[in-house]
Structure 1
Amino acid sequence: MSAPTRGDDIDDDRRAGRRLLHGALVVLLACTTAGLAVVGLGGVRRDVGPVTAQVSLAITAHAGTEIALPPVGRLTMDTHSGPFGLRVGIEEVDLTQARELLQGSAAREQAVRQLPGEVRSAVRALVLRSALVALLAAAVACALVFRDLRAVLLGTGAVLAVLLLSGAVTAATARPQAVTRPTYTGLLAQAPALVGAVRNARTDFGAYSERLAQLTSDVSGLYTRLQTLPEGAGEESTRVLWISDVHNNPQAYALVRSLVAQYDVQAVVDTGDSTDLGTGVENSQLAAIDDLPVPYVWIRGNHDSPQTQAYLETLGNVRVLDDGAVVEVAGLRLAGTGDPTFTPVKQVQPQQGAGAEALTRAGQQLAAAIERSPEPVDVALVHQPAMAGPLHGHVPLVLDGHVHERRDRVVDGTLELTQGSSGGAGLRTLDGGEATPLQLSVLHFDPATGQLVAVDDITLAGIGEQRVSVERRPASSYPTTGDDEQEEQEQEEQEQEDEQR
């Protein structure tokens, strides 16, 4: 037997190098295929509480947990380290179950008991599925490419080792407390400020309510003095209280109740935006409307949802106007339609131009309905001024809101009045916002003709201020708007409406 030569040693080194390279290629192929399979096929869909979530793993340099809540943003939590990040996407929400959680303590207690188990079950299912998908993908890829059992075993073994190592790193670096310190992106970036506002709201709003009650009593004296003025509307007039844009300010309805009693009004009209987001939770603020002793005529604003409208339709004294409906209240014929847009969040808007077209079209449809009415309509109700243009010349009076400031104009014989915010722009002002006044109006109509006689504009100072005023304007005092002035005003209104939305 001959001794090994130097040539044999070189051949052995080459064979060893080829084996090493072959093994590296096997491991690289197995791990790459496994990683792609985990990301693409390893997710699971599970019900967790009231939501249906897609839970998956992502290969990333920044691990941790990320929860996507389209379209409002995402939460990121530094829950662990390692090559795999946990990604949760909310696909569906069971609104009935969510409502029960928010409204019922028993349902909340049950959810608190069940939720940890549901989360653990979802994570276990994710880990098991991801591991099986990774191993199967690695084995199939190695078998197809190398056609060698040893390559299959090497590839799957390498993937198994990576999975076990990743699991050990994740367990060793787990930081459960990180779920209490999420990072917000998108619209959710406003969440911390909102939480702070809610914490301060109870104290601030209690003091505000006391001041508002005193201011409300002052209005009564001012109104009594107004009745003695030469242009007083007289006790025989039909009086209607007009409000708009309450935006979840619960004290607004207490103010409405007081004014209904003090002025002996026959009806209340509301030109929309009673809520901020149009959720079912906000309906609890609207329950106070049912206690008012007079009819309440309401149209939907761009912050009110069909769910908001459906709830108000269940209240006995509420008359919801939509799609050109006409109702007779307190001897007056009123027609109205809801806002065709639903834009409770500024960053979520319709396609550019689509919103304006929808508003104009809604105004045109209401004008056509008024023309078809067998009896003349006295007042038309819309939410946004952009809806009022097609109504000019078709009805004596148009009432709208949306822009949170009073405006007026007369075009083609139609008086268009725009109301401010009767809720002082809502509770958002408690979070350091500008003190917006509460603005309401008492409209006086001739009971024989249904024509507007006078308007009492009531203004109560916003949070942190103490002022109250009542100004009476005869209907004949509103100036007529020329064509050029009308076009300029409509352009300014559209720009401000875009900002409001």
Structure 2
Amino acid sequence: MITSSKSEFFFSVLMAIAGAVLLISLFGHMQFNIEALQFRVSAQISEKGYTVVELPPLGTVRAHTHNAPLSLSVRLENIDLQSIQRFLNHNTGRDEIIQQSKTVLRQVAAVFIAKLLALALLGGVTGVFITRKGSPPKYIAGALAGMILAGGLLAATYFTYDSSAFRNPQYSGVLRMAPWMVNLAQETFGKIELLGENLSIIAENLNQIYERVDSLQPIGNETEEFKILHISDLHNNPAGMDFVLQVAGLFGADMIIDTGDITDFGTPLETVLLEQLNHIDIPYFFIPGNHDAPAITEKMEQIPNVTVVKGLVEKYGLTFYGVPDPSSTTSAVTPPDLSTIPRLTRQVQESIDQLGPEKVDIALLHNDKMARSLAGYVPVILFGHNHRMEIHQQGGSILINAGTSGAAGLRGLQTKQIPYSVVLLHFHPGETGKKRLVAADTISVSNLEQGFTLNRIRFDIPPEPD
């Protein structure tokens, strides 16, 4: 009889522990905010003690931080862009941000621990209740078993926790392909302001060289001239954006054409960087690239003077035909399947043919392979994607790749090998009055120490012998 009572008691304790584990797994989570960022923290019983940071849609960062069989997860749930903008406008210092975040995290940790202990207590009581043989001593024992389980796990997590494990974490999703982001945040963001200042000086010097080139290689009546600044692949570089806007102003560009990848991951957070475009006073044509998700396209459509070109658009007597990158319709940061390029290109070729001969003056694309396949169909083809500036003629078409106007984005801040590059296109009225491309100025800032190059290519005169 004593043995039977002990068995029932131990069974009740076992069910209490199971109940505590179940309730912690089902309800062991809570939401909290740090300024404009909303997070969700959760705890799960697991074989190993991992801490997981989830950053949708980029992926996860995971590290084996403690010995207790408890997995902790922190997920970025939402970003309030308006709050971020207000926060940035207040110019809050880095130390103040860190201190505020630590205060919030301590408060969240205290509340979360209390919730887990309460869930464990309730789970222990629930486990005993399920046995249908509960009695006050058993309920008390169940509650204590649940509390001891949760308290033990939390104590073991606290005393064995090693945050340095994140120096060598495991990545998944897009982050698995970009571990450079961790070092980037620590080492290169401080360079942006200096980059902006240096690029501003370079732009001024470029303008002086440009005026000399104009005097040495004049290309007709300036009053009839129409200038388009072709840029591409800014990849979230605010210094690159400032450089582009300054060059457009100094060189008197009448419009800007951006052939895609203005962002890196196409997330809503990156739309904050597009606020710089609110200050432009000339038309800005944009073709989404494979890094520009629907959220980016939607934001661009809301900015004054910005036109997202999808199909046929007429402006200033020129007819443009825009082909957004196929990958820009999803949130996945991937280039289009190469096997689909021929089919997509045929569709574009058929669409241009249906518009009639010489209807389209300039084709705007992001993908370089699709652009080259359109040679012979359109007089001028502008594109980007591969970060290599080039100009060549093929099949009666002039193909122009602006390279990367943001020096491959924030990644470029870690190297001096990738240049900032833009192309200034000069159009003059032809014999029929229709604007035609007569010259292109390639501008490349090799790096901030070695300077820049500016080269003029003429299309209205035969090329000089080598």
Matched residue, 1:498 = none
Please give the secondary structure, in 2, of the residue aligned with 1:461. Answer: strand
Shift of 1:216: 2.0
Percent of matched pairs sharing the same residue:
24
Could you tell me how far apart the structure 1 residues matched to 2:68 and 2:160 are? 15
Q: Which structure: greater strand fraction?
A: 2
CA distance, structure 1, for counterparts of residue 343 and residue 120 of structure 2: 52
CA distance in 2, matches of 1:51, 1:254: 30
Could you state the TM-score of these two structures normalised by the residue count of structure 2? 0.76
- TM-aligned CA deviation for residue 378 of structure 1: 0.3
Moved more, 358-367 or 401-410: 358-367
Per the alignment, in what secondary structure is the counterpart of residue 242 of structure 1?
strand
3-state DSSP of counterpart to 2:292? coil
Secondary structure in structure 1 of the residue aligned to 2:261: coil
Provide the C-alpha distance between the structure 2 equivalents of 1:149 and 1:243, rounded to a whole number of angstroms: 74
Matches within 5 A, 1:43-122: 43-44=28-29, 46=31, 48=33, 50-51=37-38, 53=40, 55-62=42-49, 65-70=51-56, 71-76=58-63, 78=65, 82-83=68-69, 85-88=70-73, 90=75, 92-96=77-81, 99=84, 102-103=87-88, 105=90, 117=107, 120-122=110-112
C-alpha contact 1:360 1:389 (8 A) present in aligned 2: no
Matched, 1:209 2:199: yes
Report what 1:335 is aligned to: 321
* Aligned-partner residue type, residue 410 of structure 2: L
Deviation of residue 297 (structure 1)?
Answer: 1.8
Unaligned runs of 5+ in 1: 1-14, 479-501
Give the drift of 1:40: 4.4
> Structure 1 CA distance, aligned partners of 2:190 and 2:91?
27
User: Could you tell me which amino acid in structure 2 is paired with residue 384 of structure 1?
Assistant: N
Query: What TM-score, normalized by structure 1, do the two folds share?
Result: 0.71
Rounded to whole Å, the distance in 2 between the matches of 1:101 and 1:176 is 39
Higher radius of gyration, 1 or 2: 1
RMSD of aligned C-alpha atoms?
Answer: 4.3
Is the Cα–Cα contact under 8 Å of residues 222 and 469 in structure 1 kept in the other structure? Answer: no
Total equivalences in the alignment:
444
The equivalent residue for 1:167 is: 151
| Deviation of 1:210 (Å) | 5.6
SS state at 1:386 partner: helix
Residues 413-433 of structure 1: CA distance to partner in whole angstroms, max 9, x if unpaired?
4333222112222232222x2
Equivalent in the alignment of 2:141: 157
Q: C-alpha offsets along residues 187-231 of structure 1, whole Å, 9 cap, x if unaligned?
A: 284443022223541575256336524542443244224425xxx
- Distance (Å, rounded) in 1 between the aligned partners of 2:226 and 2:319: 12
1:102–1:281: 8 Å Cα contact kept in structure 2? Answer: no
The alpha carbon displacement at 1:173 in A equals: 6.9
Distance 2:306 2:298 in 1: 11
Partner Cα separation in structure 1 for residue 296 and residue 143 of structure 2 = 54
- Superposed CA deviations along residues 369-425 of structure 1, whole A, max 9, x for unmatched, are 444547811001011123335644432221100111023555554333222112222
Alpha carbons of structure 1 residues 250 and 69: separation in structure 2 relative to 1, 3 Å = closer
| Aligned 8 A contact 1:278 1:305 in 2 | yes
Structure-2 change in CA distance of 1:100 and 1:225 (3 Å): closer
1:471 aligns with 456
CA distance in 1, matches of 2:342, 2:140: 64
Offset at residue 366 of structure 1 (A): 4.4
How much does 1:332 deviate? 1.4
Q: Deviations over 1:143-187 (max 9, x none)?
A: 5xxxx658x966972673363265157348736996698454312
How far apart, in 2, do the equivalents of 1:207 and 1:471 lie? 26
In structure 1, C-alpha distance between the alignment counterparts of 2:461 and 2:117, rounded to whole Å? 75
CA contact (8 A) 1:239 1:264 kept: yes
> Gaps spanning 5+ residues in structure 2: where?
none
